[in-house]
Amino acid sequence: MRVLVTGGAGFIGSHVVDALQAHGHEPVVYDVRENPAADVRDPVAVARALAGVDAVCHQAAMVGLGDGVADAAEYVSRNDLGTAVLLAAMAEAGVRRLVLAGSMVVYGEGRYECPRHGVVRPGPRDVADLDAGRFEPACPVCGTELSPGLVGEDAPADPRNVYATTKLAQEHLAAAWARVTDGQAVSLRYHNVYGPRMPRDTPYAGVASFFRSALARGEAPRVFEDGRQRRDFVHVRDVAAANVTALEAGTRGGALTAYNTGSGEPHTVGEMARALAAAHGGPEPLVTGEYRLGDVRHITADSARLRAELGWKPQVGFEEGMAEFARAGIQGA
C-alpha cells in the first residue's frame, strides 16, 4: 500500500514510516518539519499529497495538556480543523482507509472500583486535596478510597483538558467520515508512548523525556505527587507496529473502531523514574509532592481487544525498553 503519514517526521510518525517500509509498504511523509507547506489545514496541499494514496496514518497533531483555554483555538485549529480538512480531501480522492493517532486522554480518569458501590467515576480532583497531598480520588458516593483498574474502550469519554477534547473530536469526525464514505477507520488510543526520537522536554513527551533530560544533566528526576500514579508505558516501536497491523488487517466499513494501545502492564511513574535512573547510572529520583492541574491520577489500558481482534501484541518489555531509552539520545525540541 501507498500510505500517507501525516506527522511522518515526528516522534511516533517516523517510527510508523520505518515500520511501513519494513513491511513492504510505501510511506509518503507529510509533515511541516520537512516542508512548511505540508499543513493538514491546507485543502490544496492535502489533496495533492493524497494523489495515488491507498490509506492514511494520521499522526499530525498539536500535543500536550494545553495552557488552560488560552491556546484552545490553536489546538482546535491544528487537531480538529486539520482532521476535517484531511477527511474531506480523502472523501474526494476516494481514499477509504484511515488509522488515527488517538489517545487515552479521552477517558479522563481511569477505571475505579469502590468496595461498597462497585465501579464509579470520580470527578476532577479538588485543588485543596492536591495541596494537602491527598492525591487519590475518593468514591463520589461515600468518600471511600478506590481501587484503580484497567479501562476498556467501552468506558465513557470524559476529557479533562483542551487537548483531550480535541482528540475526542477527531474520533467523532473520523466516525462521521466513515459513515458517509463507508470507509474503514481505526483510532489507536495510545497510552504513554516512549522510546528513541522522543522530543526533549515537551508536554506530550511528558515525564519520560523530562526524567531522561534531568539524568543527562546529572540531576535527579523530579517526580510529581507521590510517584504512585499508575500509567501504561508502551514502546514507540510497538505503537508503530500497531499502526501497520491496523492498516493491513482492515476493519468493517462505515464505522470507527477504537483500540487501546498499551503494554497491558501498569507501572507507576515512580517505578519508571527509578528504572531510568538505574539504567542511566544517575541520581535517585526526588519525589516532590508537586502536581499539575489537569493531570489524572491513574489511567491504564486494557488492550485485550487489539490483541484479540487484530493479533497485535507488544514486543518490548518495560525493563528492556527503559534501559534502551536511558541510553538513547533525545531529540531536540
- Count of C-beta atoms within a 10 Å radius of residue 78: 20
- Given the C-alpha cell 485485550, which residue does it identify? 304
**At residue 225, what are phi and psi to the nearest 5 degrees?**
55, -135
Planar angle of CA 312, 97, 233, nearest 5 degrees: 35
Handedness of CA 121, 127, 131, 132 (dihedral sign): negative
d(CA 326, CA 89): 41
Residue type, 89: A
Yes or no: say if 203 and 65 are a contact pair by the CB < 8 Å rule: yes
What is 297-322 written as a DSSP string? S---B--HHHHHHH-----S-HHHHH
| Kind and range of the H or E run holding 266 | none
User: For 312, how many CA atoms within 13 A lie in the half-sphere containing its CB?
Assistant: 27
Residue type, 22: A
Considering the candidates 112, 163, 190, 259, report the single residue annotated as catalytic: 163
In DSSP terms, 187 is beta-bridged to 100, 258
d(CA 140, CA 160): 17
Would you call 163 a catalytic residue per the annotation?
yes
Grid coordinates representing 190? 495510545
Give the orientation angle of helix 11-22 with respect to helix 236-249, to 10 degrees.
50
Yes or no: say if 88 and 41 are a contact pair by the CB < 8 Å rule: no
Yes or no: say if 190 and 239 are a contact pair by the CB < 8 Å rule: yes
Residues noted as catalytic? 163
